[in-house]
Chains A and B, each alone.
Chain A
């Protein structure tokens, strides 16, 4: 059984059905890329996996490390070892990055983390992500540039050491240096801690720095194509339209 098993997941918002039967399995230590055009349901899947209240699961299930978490509260999923790097990280005025990290770490533990241990971990993460130490005393995401927000997401990921992380278009809006830092951070967490990752993107460029073993193409709420890294190259050559022509009809038939 895979660490994260998504089975026949159907999800709707108040307006419409967005995911129409998604199946996906992810293990620790695996890097998956989920690609797809705008509106295909990528962010819906990311948010649903963490239990966002605006998305309703109408059928299907999410099982994480053997536990059915389909109905779990978001914080319970996080404590179990799931992590979501947000496409649009939210600013939390009045709370420093370091204090927030301490709260989040303590939420997962019975005993509060020792000051020294926390400092050591933080120092390690800071070096990994090439951020300034002063960064951690700033209020979380408050007045951060786009690149800083994404670095802060990866910093949190490094500190919280999840089993599986979902990165929702973490690469969008990043300049090449920030992109490289973020991507290398993910790769190192994978190499050092055995992180499993689902990298959601509609560009190929982040995949020049993180090498996925599995690639999935999402269209109209359904995974239409799966394969290895060669799929990325094909996509680069042909674009989504070609694939849509090939597989688009299926969605219509099923609906």
Chain B
């Protein structure tokens, strides 16, 4: 697998420089893009883990907590995070209650659970282990499968863009490693769980997943926190927790993966600043669907890249922000070679005084001919003080491609509500039907009944919690 040798260098003024010195002038779309796709190789350039940790530590020490500002829109600032007050505990006992409560009982191929800084549970189907499937902590993987892990670790992820990325690379403990070897087909999902059960935790989650040639499998990641914000009186000590995550998944020739993520950090003051990279190899396919359902301040850099010819992807996602939550998603649909296919479809809703921003970038690198991709983002605002910014952008440096984007911004449709009321549904039920219907095309794509029910259930809970807010909005118009 080549490591992104077709990536586009982007200069600080936003212009794109192509091979041979040709410069593509920045258009309006370019100026609208605040974040950049990860360019070129990651930090894993042959250095040992210790060397990478040391390099990251230096960046950590000299950098400030990150702030991203977009004039006229919003700022995403992690500067209110009191990092010194948080601890990365590696002595954790047992699987946290929130995990027991939330995870479906259904069959799974394997499960790994990290609580705060320690892996507290690892399960793997014996028959799969016998066929060479590996599921263990990333720490253990470095000890026992050093050669395999080192080849892929940080292949595309950098460690130096900001303080929290560096902190993860320097301080991560536990972690998850999954390897599905060539030709292995697994029906049931592998579950990777990161849980925070109290305030005062800094969790540096680190995941590496490898899909060997023609392997076929599912990964369900859960990011869960106890509702420690609800404690009255408030628990003593700092009220914050942090999840700074780094996730990488590489699919080799002809591999197929369905990757779903359920993120719900509950009502506590949980900050989440994570980067996820999925690399699709030759003729491989990934269906990726994050469901971002809560967190005090969440910033996600999500990148799904076709790295070799014939790769194809479906990049889905949904989010639902409530109360005072702040969500900032940057999703990249990256094509490094062609022919390749992409299909990006996101849906988000916001209630209360929440803020959500979704920035979707289609980037087609030079030489990625015969790429066909489409990005759509639909949003629905359910309260007068909620705000969603949907910012699509397209960066194309090849001429035989099709790339476009579309989307809708919606509010509750009073005609639809009256229509349903005229059939006997009360107003709250009608609103629920509309919002659930809005998310349903994506929820149904999860393709896993238990996970679908979990997401539907959370959406219903959020709507119930925001009922008064939604009523007030309707009567104010």
Chain A residues at the B interface, C-beta cutoff of 8 Å:
50-53, 73-75, 77-79, 83-84, 86, 89-95, 100, 103-104, 107-108, 139, 156, 160
Contact = CB atoms under 8 A, between A and B. Distances in A.
A2 B426 CA distance: 27
B429 interface: yes
Contacts of B437: 92-95, 139
Contacts of A73: 421, 426-427
B439 A94 contact: yes
A92 B416 contact: yes
B11 interface: no
A153 B206 CA distance: 53
Given A94-B437, A94-B438, A75 B425 contact: yes
Given A92-B420, A156-B423, 9 more contacts: A73-B427, A74-B422, A75-B426, A78-B423, A79-B424, A92-B434, A95-B437, A103-B433, A104-B424
A103 B423 CA distance: 9
Contacts of A90: 413, 415-416, 419
Nearest to A79: B424
Contacts of A95: 433, 436-437, 440
11 contacts: A75-B426, A83-B422, A89-B419, A90-B416, A93-B437, A93-B441, A100-B423, A104-B425, A107-B429, A139-B437, A156-B423
Question: Which 5 A/B pairs are nearest by Cβ-Cβ distance?
Answer: A94-B437, A94-B440, A74-B421, A107-B424, A78-B424
Contacts of A51: 421
Contacts of B419: 86, 89-90, 92
Nearest to A107: B424
A74 B423 CA distance: 8
Contacts of B427: 73, 75
A90 B430 CA distance: 13
Contact of A53 (B418, B433, B436, B441): B418
Interface string B402-426: 0000000000011110111111111
A104 B419 CA distance: 11
A100 B429 CA distance: 11
B418 A52 contact: yes
Specify the main secondary structure of chain B where it touches its partner: helix
A77 B423 CA distance: 9
A110 to B, nearest CB: 13
A8 B111 CA distance: 70
Nearest to B443: A94
Contact of B426 (A83, A92, A107): A107
A131 to B, nearest CB: 18
Given A92-B433, A94-B436, A107 B425 contact: yes
A78 B416 contact: no
A187 to B, nearest CB: 22
A50 B422 contact: yes
Contacts of A89: 419
Nearest to B425: A107
Contacts of B424: 75, 78-79, 104, 107-108, 160
Contacts of B415: 90
Nearest to B416: A90
A77 B424 CA distance: 8
Contacts of A52: 418
A40 to B, nearest CB: 22
Nearest to A101: B423
A94 B441 contact: yes
Contacts of B416: 90-92
Nearest to A157: B423
Contacts of B422: 50, 74-75, 77-78, 83-84, 86
A51 B420 CA distance: 12
Contacts of B441: 93-94
A109 to B, nearest CB: 10
Contacts of B420: 92, 104
A197 B421 CA distance: 20
A89 B418 CA distance: 11
A160 B423 contact: yes
B414 A104 contact: no
